[in-house]
């Protein structure tokens, strides 16, 4: 790993370390959001462009650095901007942040990982190159794995960038809308479990299974022939 990559990696580690050292996570809680909602709405009414820009920048940074707080930011989008615009801003920002995390991982770590585990990953890489969109869509729709972990893991593969961006953008819309729409009725939410109910998670799982239908059909055809 060259000096430039080491510097970028240390910079990212420093940013994450400062987040936890300064306890910035205290601002990304449901309690803090409820306490400051009216002030944020009032500020947005006077400074719309600045509010949107700052919100999206914060969301992008949070996602790119794999920091906690995405759910609260999605709720904040609904509380400040409403369901439709909030979903648009949150989904676009999350996609940009995820893409940055994907690119940073690919640029900084992929060569090292492939040098050590390349042959073992070859089968996975071939599969992702042909059916990567369906797999990624399934992972985005079904909350089996943390959002940030998918970003990092995908960056270590040969999954094409355009597939990652499109799969992420489409795959996070349903979940994003659920959280943003819940944020528009913030007063009725007492915990994040009120949003991610078993019924909602089951619906996402069903959507995810539909995303895998083309993959399963392709496997069946291979076995048949």
Average pLDDT of every residue of the chain: 84
Alpha-carbon distance 138 to 160, whole Å? 16
Alpha-carbon distance 196 to 185, whole Å? 15
The stretch 125-154 carries a mean pLDDT of 82
pLDDT at 81: 96
Alpha-carbon distance 36 to 32, whole Å? 6
**Tens-place pLDDT, residues 155-172:** 888 888 999 999 999 989
pLDDT at 120: 64
Residue 161's alpha-carbon distances to 145, 211, 214, 225, in angstroms, are: 20, 19, 21, 32
**Tens-place pLDDT, residues 7-42:** 888 888 899 999 998 898 899 999 999 999 999 999
Look up the pTM and report it.
0.85
Query: In terms of Cα–Cα distance, which of 55, 33, 82, 48 is closest to 185?
Result: 82
**Tens-place pLDDT, residues 65-92:** 999 999 999 999 999 999 999 999 999 9
Does the structure show a pLDDT above 70 at 179?
yes
The stretch 91-119 carries a mean pLDDT of 84
Burial class (CB in 10 A: 0-12, 13-18, 19+), 108: middle
Does the structure show a pLDDT above 90 at 56?
yes
User: 219 falls in which pLDDT band (50, 70, 90)?
Assistant: low
């Amino acid at each position: 790993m060259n000096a430039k990559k080491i510097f970028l990696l240390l910079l990212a580690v420093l940013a994450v370390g400062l987040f936890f050292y300064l306890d910035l996570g205290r601002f990304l809680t449901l309690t803090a959001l409820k306490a400051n909602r009216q002030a944020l709405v009032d500020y947005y009414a006077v400074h719309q462009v600045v509010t949107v820009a700052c919100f999206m920048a914060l969301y992008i940074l949070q996602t790119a650095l794999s920091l906690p707080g995405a759910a609260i930011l999605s709720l904040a989008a609904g509380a400040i901007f409403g369901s439709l615009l909030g979903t648009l801003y949150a989904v676009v920002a999350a996609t940009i942040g995820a893409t940055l995390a994907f690119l940073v991982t690919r640029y900084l770590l992929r060569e090292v990982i492939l040098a050590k585990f390349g042959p073992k990953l070859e089968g996975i890489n071939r599969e992702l190159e042909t059916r990567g969109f369906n797999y990624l869509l399934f992972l985005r729709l079904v909350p089996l794995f943390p959002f940030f972990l998918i970003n990092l893991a995908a960056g270590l593969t040969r999954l094409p960038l355009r597939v990652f961006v499109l799969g992420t953008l489409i795959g996070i819309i349903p979940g994003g809308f659920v959280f943003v729409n819940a944020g528009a009725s913030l007063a009725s939410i007492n915990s994040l479990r009120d949003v991610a109910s078993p019924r909602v998670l089951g619906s996402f799982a069903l959507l995810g299974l539909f995303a895998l239908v083309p993959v399963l059909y392709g496997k069946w055809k291979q076995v048949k022939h």
